[in-house]
């Protein structure tokens, strides 16, 4: 199989490596050419200097896999591909697009007979060695064209990837996956914070995190990563208390509201990330003011 991979950042670059090593011929294009040259040299990837050149080096039916930021970069690439591809070709969006956008794009491409597959992709920087979890949406015929690549990218041919439903279902499933991830991370962070705060016990958090990795109910890859970090520095002195959020966490909360389905853990985990990002702290200033106004409680000055 020969396919194009557009966007060779941390995730896309590692996916290109895994595909090349698995026997897939990859035509790679990235806005910054350095990684293209590196992968061409190290992995025998076929380099392309533009999106058009990448499509021209493919054999019909052509498969173009996008690993681009959601929003305008992906939208622009698909608009350009509409002018380059033909009936029977397939576009795969492996980024973190909103599933509503995926449904709209699938309809747009279908009008020209071009298949569209939305692949929710999980695995991060570890996917090169461990494989990726791929949640795939699309028509059966389009998914079948991409299946050889899915089997190489996944941990094994028979697991770690699945055709979960029609166009949009892949990115929807990945959105919910990330919402759950937020809740799990928040629970673990709060639990370790409570243990660190119990100073009279002088708990060794590195020891406990390693202990929990073996046969405990909360064992997980997140716990493995936490244990590795705590072995180095239990105080995390080099890390600022600021947690960014991706669009998918927000979209998950919006989905719960749209459905009228209660998701308090996922929603609160999202709110906690907003709290960490608040440099102004205006709401906390208001709280302090109100306590002083009704109860005469002391207000800590900004200069203190």
List the chain domain ranges.
2-166, 175-286
Options 2.60.120.260, 3.30.420.40, 3.40.50.720, 3.30.420.10; CATH of 2-166: 3.40.50.720
Name the burial class of residue 178, with classes exposed (0-12), middle (13-18) and buried (19+) by CB atoms within 10 angstroms of its CB. Answer: buried
Query: Looking at 86, 145, 157, 174, which residue is catalytic?
Result: 174
Nearest 10 degrees: Cα torsion 70, 144, 16, 160: 80
Q: Which two tokens stand for residue 102?
A: 């995926």
Interval 104-129 mean pLDDT: 95
CA–CA gap between residue 22 and residue 195 (Å, rounded): 45
CB 24 within 8 A of CB 35: no
Query: Looking at 53, 139, 181, 280, which residue is catalytic?
Result: 181
Q: Is 238 a catalytic residue?
A: no
pLDDT digits (tens, 9 = 90+) for 166-198: 999 999 999 999 999 999 999 999 999 999 999
Name the burial class of residue 215, with classes exposed (0-12), middle (13-18) and buried (19+) by CB atoms within 10 angstroms of its CB. Answer: exposed
Q: Does the pLDDT of residue 265 top 80, yes or no?
A: yes
Q: Does the pLDDT of residue 300 top 90, yes or no?
A: no
Interval 210-230 mean pLDDT: 95
Give the model's pLDDT for residue 257: 96
| Contacts of residue 189, Cβ cutoff 8 Å, sequence gap at least 6 | none
| 281-289 long-range Cβ contacts below 8 angstroms, 24+ apart | none
Give the model's pLDDT for residue 95: 94
Q: Does the pLDDT of residue 302 top 80, yes or no?
A: no
**How high is the mean pLDDT of the chain?**
94
Give residue 16's pLDDT band: very low, low, confident or very high (50, 70, 90): very high
Give the model's pLDDT for residue 281: 84
Verify cis geometry, omega within 30 degrees of 0, for the bond prior to 4.
no
Q: Is 181 a catalytic residue?
A: yes
| Centroid of chain to Cα 181 | 10
CB 162 within 8 A of CB 136: yes
**Lookup result for tokens 């011929």:** 25
Q: Which CATH class is domain 175-286?
A: mainly alpha
Give the model's pLDDT for residue 296: 82
Nearest 10 degrees: Cα torsion 76, 9, 232, 192: 30
pLDDT digits (tens, 9 = 90+) for 57-91: 999 999 999 999 999 999 999 999 999 999 999 99
CA–CA gap between residue 62 and residue 71 (Å, rounded): 23
């Amino acid at each position: 199989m020969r396919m194009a991979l557009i966007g060779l950042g941390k995730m896309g670059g590692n996916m290109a490596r895994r595909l090349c090593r698995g026997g897939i011929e990859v035509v790679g294009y990235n806005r910054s050419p350095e990684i293209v040259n590196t992968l061409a040299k190290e992995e025998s990837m076929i380099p392309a200097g533009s999106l058009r050149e990448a499509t021209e080096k493919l054999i019909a039916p052509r498969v173009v896999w996008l690993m681009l930021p959601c929003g305008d970069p992906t939208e622009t690439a698909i608009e350009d591909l509409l002018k380059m591809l033909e009936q029977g070709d397939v576009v795969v969006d492996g980024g973190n697009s909103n599933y509503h956008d995926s449904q709209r794009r699938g309809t747009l491409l279908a009008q020209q007979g071009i298949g569209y597959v939305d692949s929710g992709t999980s695995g991060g920087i570890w996917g090169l060695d461990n494989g990726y979890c791929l949640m795939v949406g699309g028509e059966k015929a389009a998914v079948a064209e991409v299946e050889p690549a899915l089997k190489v990218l996944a941990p094994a041919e028979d697991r770690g990837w699945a055709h979960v439903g029609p166009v949009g279902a892949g990115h929807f499933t990945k959105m919910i996956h990330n919402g759950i991830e937020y809740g799990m991370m928040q629970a673990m962070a709060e639990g370790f914070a409570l243990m660190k705060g119990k100073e009279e016990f002088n708990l060794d958090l590195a020891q406990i995190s390693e202990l929990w990795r073996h046969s405990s109910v909360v064992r997980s890859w997140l716990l493995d990563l936490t244990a590795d970090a705590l072995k180095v520095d239990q105080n995390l002195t080099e890390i600022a208390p600021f947690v960014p959020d991706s669009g998918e966490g927000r979209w998950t909360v919006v989905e719960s509201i749209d459905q009228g389905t209660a998701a308090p853990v996922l929603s609160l985990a999202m709110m906690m990330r907003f709290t960490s990002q608040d440099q102004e702290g205006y709401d906390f200033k208001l709280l302090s003011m109100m306590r002083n106004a009704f109860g005469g409680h002391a207000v800590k000055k900004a200069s203190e």
